Amino acid sequence: MTAHIQINTPTNLLEPCDYKLINIDLITEIPNEYPVEFNIFCLNNNLKPPNITTGNGRALSVMLNYKFKYWNRVACDKFVEKFNINTKDSIQLFNKHNQWGYPN
């Protein structure tokens, strides 16, 4: 007798190979608030996101609003140029967001 195990997985998730490079031309403005579901997640997990008016906050905001897209250095450079964000290394605005906000 063979046991059959059914695993329920969400059907709306993309595989990493399905992600597309962000098209900076499609971003017409940077949201001035984080998405509600993200704010709830932060509250529930005692996380403090970067201020949305900072370079890191603006980068996080667009990443949250353009899900299933990936960013490379060229896209990051175009983003900071388009929105006049002052930084020495554009890709650093998009890196290491998993490290902020954890309580000490």
5 or 26, which is more confident: 26
Residues of the chain with pLDDT > 90, as a percent, come to 60
pLDDT, position 104? 44
Whether pTM > 0.85 for this model: the answer is: no
Per-residue pLDDT at 7 exceeds 50: no
Q: Which of 35, 65, 34, 36 is nearest to 50 (CA)?
A: 34
What would the pLDDT profile of 31-77 be if each residue is shown by its tens digit? 999 999 999 989 998 888 899 999 999 999 999 999 889 999 999 99
CA separation for the pair 72, 6 (Å, rounded): 37
Q: Which amino acid is at 74?
A: V
Is residue 14 pLDDT above 80, yes or no? no
What's the confidence (pLDDT) of residue 6?
Answer: 47
Q: What's the first-to-final CA gap in the chain, in angstroms? A: 52
Instruction: Report how far residue 79's alpha carbon sits from residue 84's, in angstroms, rounded to the nearest whole number.
Output: 8
For the chain, percent of residues with pLDDT exceeding 70: 77
Residue 70's DSSP bridge partners are 21
Query: How many Å separate Cα 59 from the centre of its chain?
Result: 7
* pLDDT beyond 70 at 100: no
Q: Which of 37, 40, 83, 81 is nearest to 58 (CA)?
A: 83
